[in-house]
Amino acid sequence: MFANKWASYDFGATDPLTTGKLIGAIQGPWNISRYELQYPEILKKIKLGPIPTKSATSDQKAATFADSKGLVLFKSSDLQDDAWKFINWVYSNPKFDLEWLKATSQPPARGDLISNPIFSDYFENNPLAKGFAEYVDVAIPSAVTSETVAVQRSMTQMLEQIIFTDKEVKSSVDKSVQEVNHLLVQ
């Protein structure tokens, strides 16, 4: 694909979606606030849609990636009870989820995100954020593993082999699958 110049892997310092070098891009809600600051005019032209998949149909939403955030409570902490009370307090009030959404553009993982009236005004004024939020119910978080860095390294190397070498796609994918499966059973 890259060798035939059907796609470029180096667009320079400028976001290619904002320059017209791309007609589409896989983006996430984390870019909304950046685009508001750096490219406000492009936000008027952007349309959201699902990532095309082999199995999804027009009347069915395809699963998407959930950019999950972790919260850790150490077993060795002397403040476990207080920390657990604080965690419960934060997660018990949807107003805190609204504040999170306003501050980060990242939709909280809630089954009622679109239907809960507390979020209505925000989504009415932020249609792009609403577009991302409409997929929270089919979002799949990344695998929880202590080997995340190694898993991502294997997948990056697989993509580099496919993009920059003559290595067969299937053999590159098979090698990465084998590496990742080995890492996940450790």
C-alpha distances out from residue 28 to 31, 59, 75, 151, Å = 6, 22, 34, 21
pLDDT at 27 over 70: yes
CA pair distance 163, 166, nearest whole angstrom: 8
Picking from 51, 77, 49, the residue whose alpha carbon sits closest to that of residue 64 is 51
pLDDT at 7 over 80: no
Q: Quote the pLDDT of residue 177.
A: 95
Q: Quote the pLDDT of residue 49.
A: 79
Please write the tens of the pLDDT for every residue from 50-79. 777 777 666 778 777 776 666 778 889 999
Q: Could you tell me the pLDDT band of residue 84, with boundaries at 50, 70 and 90?
A: very high
Q: Which DSSP category does 28 fall into? A: -
SS3 20: coil
Q: Can you give the residue ranges of every domain in the chain?
A: 64-71+79-141, 148-184
User: Mean pLDDT, to the nearest integer, of 8-13?
Assistant: 53
Enter the pTM of the model: 0.69
Q: Could you tell me the pLDDT band of residue 9, with boundaries at 50, 70 and 90?
A: low
Q: Could you tell me the pLDDT band of residue 14, with boundaries at 50, 70 and 90?
A: low
Q: Is residue 158 exposed (0-12), middle (13-18) or buried (19+ Cβ within 10 Å)?
A: buried
C-alpha distances out from residue 171 to 3, 11, 155, Å = 19, 28, 13
Which residue matches tokens 């699963």?
63
Q: Quote the pLDDT of residue 98.
A: 95
Q: Quote the pLDDT of residue 185.
A: 86
Please write the tens of the pLDDT for every residue from 90-112. 888 899 999 989 988 889 888 89
